[in-house]
Structures are given as structure tokens and as C-alpha cells.
A = this chain, B = another copy of it.
């Protein structure tokens, strides 16, 4: 059975004649004023051209993007630029956007699946992921299709993929840690996290996943292979925390002043960068990463602890004024440790009982 799949994969170049159809369709839609300018252009009937085309096709992927919003389009551009065939479907009708990007848009996911893409890349919001996956007519796909997600949380899609997809499908969980804003000019050195959750042992399947990863390698991404669990642990402490601080500060309506320090300007930039993301993304980072709640609690405790340092200082000063040295408090350690997390909060950076008064 698997052998048959393998054979099919090998003949990928030939099977991909769908694309030729699509591109000639696109050509037919072009304005009639287009004239042939190069009479000696290689003809598709040439034997040589045919061969090089087949070779090219064998290194190229047919990638179907499910969910063609901002992020899906952003990825599609790079895929097309690198010569891959890109298909897309979405709840909304993005056919004209797709056409302008060189992507074939299908309003009906059944039609898309019948095109037998090598890869189904799901690029929806975290909150829609499960529903979208479960609504796909996966019975129309070839059994060796590779499923990929690009969500900002990783344990959740891994679990849903494993629960939903029959064993014959491959699974790659990824998190390109950048977007249309931060990756506008280049993807150089931006982190691309991935976990090969389930990749069949056949060579064709192994090669296919490498071809996909190569797209990001070629763009200069910093490739980070790590487990979904490790990703979620690190991301809660870093990405979720960054969004949280950005959103708290956004609520404060920080204004630019004539006397901005460099530190303050980094805060203003942070607000600008995080406020462009949706609340749904933020809620997704919180709700679909089991480590996020604990990080939120740690932030809360750290803030309480800082306030206690400040107010404890005041309290002590005033008691000293009222009662002299006898009014001095017993030194009280301020929140040395967090209840559930192994990592301790540090002791307050200044000794509450010792700051000199001169």
C-alpha cells in the first residue's frame, strides 16, 4: 500500500499537470493587448524544456493554505517566490487577492482537496483551528498528505492533529515566530520553530518535510527544532509575557514626551508592535498554552512584591519618625518564592531595613 503511495509521489511532476491548466487559465484572463515579444522563447513542446520542467517540478511542492487571511497571504508570497504551487481556501472569498499573488483560490474546500496538494497548511486563528480542521473533507486527499500548522501555541494543534487525522497523514507542527510586520523586509535570523510530530519513514515523506523546511532555511530563518511542550514552556515566559506587558501599557495610553529616554522609547515601540495583533491572538496565547496562567500569576506577584518594597519603605520611615529607633520593624522577607513554580522570585533588590537616610 505504502509502496503505491511512494510511486505516486515519484511521479509528482507528471501528476502536477493541474498547475499547467491553472496557469493557462490565468493567461486567458489577461488583457488582450498583451503581445508576444520574444519569438525565440523556448516552446513547451521542446524535449529539453520538458525535461528541465520535470526536474524543477520534482523539487517543488504543491501547498494548499487553509485560511487565507493576513498570515496565510504573507506565507504564500514566499512560497510562490520560491516557485512552489500554492492553492488556498478560506471562509471569505479572497479570489482576487489570490490571483494577484499567483495563488489558485478555491471557495469550496472539496475542490481544493481534489487537487491533491502535497501539503495542507492550516493558517487560521488559534480559536478556529479545531473547527476548521474537522470540517475539511480529508477523505478527498491523497493518503500521504502532510499536515502543517503555524499557530503560536504548539501542544494544542499537536493534540488536535493526532486526535483527528488518520495515521496515513504526516504531521509537522511549526511556529514561524514573525509576521507581516516583523518579517516585512526579511526573515533573516527570525526564529522558525518546528516539531516533526509524525513523519512516515518512507524516503518521499522524509524528503518532502525537508523541502518544506528548506523554504524557511532559504529565507534565512533561524531553524529551531524543539518539542511542542518545550515551545509552549518558553513561549509563555517570552512571547505571552511580551504581549501582556504591551497590552497593559497600551491601556495606560502612554504618551510620547519631549523627554523620552531610550528605555521609554522601547516601551512605546512595544505597545505599537503588540497593539497591531488581535485580542483573539492574545486570548489564544493565554487559553491554549497551559503555562500562560502561571506566567500571568508570576507577573502579578512580581508587581505586588515591588509595591510592597516601595510601601514597606514608607511604612518603616514613618514608624521611625513616630517611634524613633524602637519603632523599627522586624525585617520581613518580601515574597521570596512563588507557590507552584520551581523558579524562585529573587529577594528584593534592596534591603528594606537598611537604606541610608542621608
Which of A191, A254, A306, A346 gathers the greatest number of chain B CB atoms within 10 Å?
A: A306
Contact B263–A246 (Cβ < 8 Å): yes
Contact A261–B242 (Cβ < 8 Å): yes
A181 to chain B, nearest CB (A): 10
The CA of A261 and the CA of B235, in the complex, are separated in Å by 9
The CA of A348 and the CA of B241, in the complex, are separated in Å by 18
Report B-chain residues with C-beta under 8 Å of the C-beta of A241: 249, 252, 254, 264, 267
Contact B298–A310 (Cβ < 8 Å): no
- A300 touches which one: B234, B270, B303, B313 (CB < 8 A)? B303
- Interface range on chain A: under 10, 10 to 19, 20 to 34, or 35 or more? 35 or more
Which of A131, A249, A266 gathers the greatest number of chain B CB atoms within 10 Å?
A: A266
Flag whether A2 is at the interface (Cβ < 8 A). no
Report B-chain residues with C-beta under 8 Å of the C-beta of A319: none
The CA of A358 and the CA of B128, in the complex, are separated in Å by 4
The CA of A255 and the CA of B298, in the complex, are separated in Å by 14
A109 to chain B, nearest CB (A): 14
A306 to chain B, nearest CB (A): 5
Report B-chain residues with C-beta under 8 Å of the C-beta of A257: 234-235, 237-238
Residues of A whose CB lies within 8 Å of any CB of B are: 127-128, 131-132, 175, 177-178, 182, 191, 193, 224, 226, 231, 234-235, 237-239, 241-255, 257-264, 266-267, 269-270, 273-275, 278-280, 283, 286-287, 296, 298-300, 302-303, 305-307, 309-310, 313-314, 343-346, 348-350, 355-358
Known: A238-B259, A241-B267. 7 other contacts (CB 8 A): A131-B358, A241-B249, A242-B261, A266-B270, A275-B349, A279-B349, A279-B355
- A sample of 12 cross-chain residue pairs with beta-carbon separation below 8 angstroms, ordered by A number, consists of A127-B358, A177-B261, A182-B261, A237-B254, A248-B302, A250-B346, A251-B345, A251-B346, A252-B299, A252-B302, A266-B266, A280-B350
